[in-house]
Amino acid sequence: MEFTTVWFVIIAVLWVGFFVLEGFDLGVGMLHGVLSRDEASRRAVLHTIGPVWDGNEVWLVTAGAAMFAAFPGWYATLFSGFYLALVLLLAGLIVRGIAVEYRDRVDGAQWRRTWTVLLTVGSLIVPFVLGIALGDLLHGVPVGRDQEYAGTFADLFTGYGVFTGITVTALCLLHGATFLALKTSGEIRERAHRLARRAVLPVGLVVLAFVFWTRSLADQGILLNLLELAAVLAVAAAAWAISSSHDGWAFGATTLAMAATVGSLFTELYPRVMVSSISSAFDLTVDNTASGPYALKVMTIVALVLLPVVLIYQGWTYHVFRKRISADHFPAPGQASPGPLTARPES
């Protein structure tokens, strides 16, 4: 296997890892105001992602850095053409991060309500914008002979791109609901379970439409590949697990659904990395955008050494913070000094 193919696979894995891990974070951000009836339960919901959300975002940074190092031509065209969309993405990430850390810094109802709204909005913006960007890679945007983006901001809003954004956002919402059902107890868990049960059917229909649209767009016929079939079956498995109250299986199924959905887009894209809507002759590929063989070889060695370390560290983090969380663990407003995600120790 050539190094260009290896790094396309690595970048696809990094994007899949980001959506799997950050996907439930974003889902929790969307749902924290819906599933919480009081401040204690709202803090409990946010505490489920408090120790891990910033570490999960590292996958996005790493994916962007890998694109820059392995395929500088792809990176240059994508980031220059999608500049305004990326500014919107960064705004969503910044607002979301500040909201998680600052909403409990001041003991005031209006202060917390403001950050609750901003956290919800930021958590919606991030998967929607990223979904549009990934969908546009396969659908195609105006890219000229010189590998320069030749369109406008409006050209990014293709039908398939917008639907990809909707699909990813819907999966994040379901993924967040199954995560909360797994990580919380009491009334919060019951609300998360009810919401997941109501959402799984429409999300499944969206995923089904997405995989067939993806297959049609790639001109590969109606038979699904293994990842596309896995995405559909995973949502069906999630529906069974949710209805049977198997929280662990439900979260595992939504994890697989997210991974297979995002991964299927990359499988249909290869060996292209960005399709030109002007002419297929102008498509960006793994060959005409890649770095030199020596650079790719060195990067491969570094990735083989560091990636297992990152996986072990993140796995240990999730192991340490594996216990369920209840609203009973959190003080009511005014009973504790303001601080981010402050919880009473368990008895």
**Model confidence pLDDT, tens digit, residues 160-208:** 999 999 999 999 999 999 999 999 988 899 999 999 999 999 999 999 9
Which residue shows structure tokens 């020596």?
Answer: 294
Exposure of 246 in the CB half-sphere (CA atoms within 13 A): 11
Q: Dump pLDDT digits (tens) for 90-114.
A: 999 999 989 888 887 777 788 888 9
Q: What's residue 325's pLDDT?
A: 84
230: confidence class by pLDDT, cuts 50, 70, 90: very high
User: Does residue 42 carry a pLDDT above 70?
Assistant: yes
342: confidence class by pLDDT, cuts 50, 70, 90: very low
* Cα–Cα distance for residue pair 163/18, rounded to 1 Å: 19
Q: What's residue 274's pLDDT?
A: 95
What are the backbone angles phi and psi of residue 145, rounded to the nearest 5°? -60, -30
What are the backbone angles phi and psi of residue 273, rounded to the nearest 5°? -120, -15
In terms of pLDDT, which residue wins out, 39 or 329? 39
| Sequence-separated (6 or more) residues with CB below 8 Å from residue 319 | none
N-to-C CA span, the chain: 55
Q: What is the mean pLDDT of residues 267-292?
A: 93
Q: Is-contact 25 53, C-beta < 8 A? A: yes
Cα dihedral value 79, 80, 81, 86, nearest 10:
50
* Cα–Cα distance for residue pair 172/170, rounded to 1 Å: 5
Q: What's residue 113's pLDDT?
A: 87
Q: What percent of the chain has pLDDT over 70?
A: 94
347: confidence class by pLDDT, cuts 50, 70, 90: very low
Which residue shows structure tokens 């979301």?
Answer: 96
Q: Is-contact 34 194, C-beta < 8 A? A: no
Cα dihedral value 206, 259, 63, 124, nearest 10:
40
Q: What's residue 322's pLDDT?
A: 84
What are the backbone angles phi and psi of residue 267, rounded to the nearest 5°? -65, -35
332: confidence class by pLDDT, cuts 50, 70, 90: low
Q: Dump pLDDT digits (tens) for 123-147.
A: 999 999 999 999 999 999 999 999 9
